[in-house]
Amino acid sequence: MAIRNKADKKKSRTGQLRIVAGIWRSRLLQIADVPGLRPTSERIRETLFNWLAPRINGARCLDLCAGTGALGIEALSRGASRVVFVERSTVATTILKSNIASLSAADAKVLNVDAQTYLAGSNVEPFDIVFIDPPFATDLQHELCRLLYEQPWLADDARIYVEMGEDQPELLLPESWQAMKNKTAGNVRYILAKN
């Protein structure tokens, strides 16, 4: 058995994440070692993209608090026309850009910016699908939904996916949104809504 010294323990380590389906099926992506970064599991991604199957081809997607980019990259793999990834961690953004480059994903744009700052900006464009998956401890889901609702970020009949901890307070959706699916897997609750 190898014994690690203290210097080895301080190095940033990465794990790997597998793309579930589509043109990059089974490809492995690097995962940054960033506090609070929790990639969406394969099981949940499979369920989510089964729900989104009729809408994903050609969709314009926004991946807020992208982290590993698992949701947005899975969307591109399955036929989305464009994904904007918004991630505030410089380390996670660097690895996300590297993963996208390894896939030669031309229709991906990665922004190293806080999701709230991005949504409060004036460069508003409509998206068909929005993924909201912040670190659970931040409890940003409510605020990000509010900001999406207040500006024209959503195309007509858009889908909004929200992931949160099972123990977090119930998500109050904006008045005109309707929850379509609401499921729990382990300690994760995930919701698909439409505007």
Model confidence pLDDT, tens digit, residues 77-110: 999 999 999 999 999 999 999 999 999 998 999 9
Phi then psi dihedrals of residue 3, to 5 deg: -105, 125
How far apart CA 67 and CA 124 sit, in angstroms, is 22
Write the burial class of residue 14 (CB in 10 Å: 0-12 exposed, 13-18 middle, 19+ buried).
Answer: middle
Domain ranges of the chain: 7-194
Residue spans of alpha helices (H) in the chain: 6-10, 42-56, 70-77, 90-103, 115-120, 141-150
How far apart CA 41 and CA 30 sit, in angstroms, is 14
The amino acid occupying position 93 is T
Domain 7-194 listed as CATH 3.40.50.150: yes
This prediction's pTM: 0.89
**pLDDT above 60 for 74:** yes
